[in-house]
Amino acid sequence: MPDEDYCASFFHPEGVLDRLLDASGSDCNMVEFGCGYGTFTLPAAKRTRGLVTALDIEPAMVRLVAQRAKAESLSNVHAEVRDFVEHGTGLADRSQGHAMVFNLLHIEAPVALIREAFRVLQPGGVLSVIHWRSDIEGFTRFRRIFRRPTGSLRCARIGQTLDCVHRDLGLLAVRHTCLFTH
């Protein structure tokens, strides 16, 4: 996991969540795959009355998120050590209103990850995907799997590549939001 300050320099979590979530708040449950330092988990928990499940394979990250949630009196955060690619989330089918997959498409099995995210989403739920690195091996593999005939994948076109997964799963992509381009 990169240094926290380095990671934080790439995002303004509140601004990103403003684009992805209803600013008025909601009652929906949310799950964050790979919560890391809680960069998005904690601000998301402040925007919902539902439970925010924060999953990560790194015990130190999960402890940190749990400590920060407690320090901020966020009783709606459940942080759990979980290899969700290997073992799934442990969440019920169609139980989440929002699934966040941020900076994880470089993993060994990105398609399995997206499938698990869709499995736990309730009808009308939202899957948010952000990926900011295209120079690492795993993302190169993801590009090969989902390369469009028109050429290379760019950050602004990642939503188009996810359409391939949507079609494979028989799902309809309702909206793609470009948060930034390089």
Of the two residues 34 and 8, the one the predictor is more confident about is: 34
Tokens representing 12?
A: 């303004």
Cα 77 to Cα 25, 86, 101, 134, 148: the distances in Å are 15, 23, 17, 31, 38
The span from the CA of 83 to the CA of 104, in Å, is 13
Residue 114's pLDDT is: 86
CATH superfamily membership of 4-137: Vaccinia Virus protein VP39 (3.40.50.150)
Any idea of the CA torsion for 67, 71, 73, 78, to the nearest 10 degrees? -10
- pTM here? 0.75
Tens digit of pLDDT for each residue in 108-146? 777 888 889 999 999 888 888 876 655 545 444 444 444
Q: How do the domains of the chain map onto residue ranges?
A: 4-137
